[in-house]
Chains A and B, each alone.
Chain A
Amino acid sequence: MSKEFNRNEIEDLLFLEADLLDDWKLKEWLDLYTKDASYYVPSTDLPKDAKADDSLFYIADDRLRMEERVTRLMKKTAHSEYPRSKTRHLVSNVRIRSIDTDNDEAEVSAAVVTFRTKGGNTDPYIGSNYYRICRENGVLKIREKLCRLDLDGLRPHGRVSIIL
């Protein structure tokens, strides 16, 4: 099984993602995702198996809305992020949790802290990211990302206007 996916290349992908986000290269960030990708940030009081179809999340984007999120964030009229905040995505404890050989897909988790600094405040988004990562024409791509925050809500952050 480790033939199909190894942790080094997955870490490379996640570290690249973190760099692209911190550099605000959001179009390039999107290229790391498959065409059927999704991106979730559940509300902090939900059980682990909650689904966005019938529970209230903070973010539940399909690919279309991920693209629109990026388009919006690149505009000067995305006031929360203009002037842009500074961010630092730290990714650690990367683990391959399981591999689905039929779909050529790996389930990966990582412990993350993302700091957002703007207007004299620095807010940490602490949590774990769960990824479904697959191989498309030999290249690793992310099919799903779910950011589970270890917080009692977005306090004091007030928003998830950056991409976690």
Chain B
Amino acid sequence: MKDQKEYVKIDRDRNTFHVSRSAFVESDVFDQEYEKVFDKCWLYLGHESEVKKKGDFVTRTVAKRNIILTRDTKGNLNALLNTCPHRGATVCRESSGNSKNFQCFYHGWVFGCDGKLKNQPGKESYDTEFNDDGSSDLASVPRFDVYAGFCFISFDPDIIPLPEYLAGAREYLDLIASHSESGMGVVDGSQEYAIRANWKLLVENSIDGYHAVTTHASYLDYLMNTNGGLTDVALEGKSHDLGNGHAVLEYSAPWGRPIAQWVPLFGEEGKKEMQEIYGRLVELHGEDIAHRIANKNRNLLIFPNLVINDIMAVTVRTFYPSEPGYMVVNGWALAPNQETEWARKYRLYNFLEFLGPGGFATPDDVEALESCQTGYRNFKLVEWNDISKGMGLESPSYDDELQMRVFWSQWNNYMKAES
């Protein structure tokens, strides 16, 4: 094995943690990340609510692979590789829909929504035992599992089971699933965008409690201006290492939350509504959990690239690099399957105020990430990023940088592993 370059430099005596900027720009890091990180992890595919009915499907690109997520006629979920076993054409070319069969348009092979080959034009020219071994069915992704409604896949057949992989993050996925007894579902409409920056910058940014006051100064001004958009709740909380590279910050904040922190902007109708939601949470989960669900914000990272932020609304976001300095992002809103029209409307209103490429905050995050990537042109002269904040502390605050250190330590482990 050739000499390995150190991308992460930790000095426990001086409580410093440094990451090499070359990790954001070098093309061999980019190549290795697919092999050593994405192909060795559990990756988010979609939410089971996106394929509610038998025959429902969505197509996705996950770590460069084209995947179809289907619910077959027996009600089972399948993650299929979207390439024809015959000669390779993309079998399903729609982004979502409902269909019992998929027909490859190239030569017309027909597959059931469970991936099984059902028919071929000119079947009589094939051996009678032609597909007895199933090798001409649509291939399944090596590993597929669902936790709390979130569907994950892995391209590593030997990976540890999903629940074990999720480690301490399970508790936080359970909390999301507990927002409503009707379950949680993805709202129609996805925010698909790109950032001209390395994907790991968005990992850091999605769980960065340190940048809000300066990067989002204009958003905080807006909250202050809009006739009582804020409560008097302080911004404070902790960050936690959840194991296996996952991390969370959990904190209180002055903004409104659709479940269920009222702010004057929600109006009197909203106040009543939110009291009811809160009351139901207490009935279901008791006062402590109800308070936590309603009044705490959580920015959760599931290693390597799934972010579930339960803040002004609940957003699910995942992203992949197509080159070191460019990433493709997909974001969704998650909401209770059953909530009143008022609640849905205000949830989305609150979502768009902060989140997404048209919000009052995300564009400035995009700008920050792109400006970092531009700065990394100097990576040979100014080599190290500093993420030491809160390192000597026993219990780091939400605005320390523990979460990033958790991510980078795990990233480093994967990159150093022999493949």
Q: Which A residues contact B (CB, under 8 angstroms)?
A: 41-46, 50, 52-60, 64-65, 68-69, 71-72, 75, 77-81, 119, 121, 152-161
Contact = CB atoms under 8 A, between A and B. Distances in A.
Interface stretch (B26-34, B109-117, B219-227, B250-258): B219-227
29 contacts: A43-B190, A43-B192, A45-B95, A45-B190, A46-B189, A50-B188, A53-B341, A53-B348, A54-B188, A54-B341, A56-B188, A56-B189, A56-B356, A57-B348, A57-B352, A58-B191, A69-B360, A71-B222, A72-B218, A72-B221, A75-B218, A75-B221, A79-B368, A80-B364, A119-B370, A153-B192, A156-B326, A158-B196, A159-B357
A132 B93 CA distance: 35
Contacts of A119: 370, 374
A161 B219 CA distance: 13
A158 B366 contact: yes
Contacts of B368: 79
B191 A56 contact: yes
B407 interface: no
A42 B194 CA distance: 17
| From B226, B358, B374, residue with most partner A Cβ within 10 Å | B358
Contacts of A50: 188-189
Nearest to B214: A77
Given A43-B191, A158-B357, A79 B196 contact: no
Taking residues whose C-beta sits less than 8 angstroms from the other chain, chain B's interface range is 35 or more
A72 B360 contact: yes
Interface of B: 95, 187-196, 215, 217-219, 221-222, 225-226, 326, 328, 332-333, 341, 344-345, 348-349, 351-353, 356-358, 360, 362-364, 366-368, 370, 374
Nearest to A47: B188
A155 B193 contact: yes
B352 A154 contact: no
A121 B189 contact: no
Contact of A64 (B226, B348, B352, B370): B226
Nearest to B339: A54
Contact of B345 (A53, A69, A153): A53
A157 B131 CA distance: 46
A45 B333 contact: no
Given A57-B352, A153-B194, A158-B357, 12 more contacts: A43-B191, A53-B348, A56-B187, A64-B226, A68-B222, A71-B222, A72-B221, A75-B218, A77-B218, A80-B366, A80-B367, A158-B195
A41 B358 contact: yes
| From A69, A75, A153, residue with most partner B Cβ within 10 Å | A153
B370 to A, nearest CB: 7
A109 B271 CA distance: 39
Contacts of A68: 222, 225-226, 360
A42 B196 contact: no
Contacts of A160: 357-358, 363
A79 B369 CA distance: 11
Nearest to B95: A45
Contacts of B226: 64, 68
Contacts of A58: 191, 352, 356-358
Contacts of B196: 121, 156, 158
A96 to B, nearest CB: 28
Given A54-B345, A56-B332, A60-B352, A153 B193 contact: yes
Contacts of A152: 192
A160 B187 CA distance: 21
B364 to A, nearest CB: 4
Contacts of B222: 68, 71-72
Contact of A154 (B95, B192, B219, B345): B192
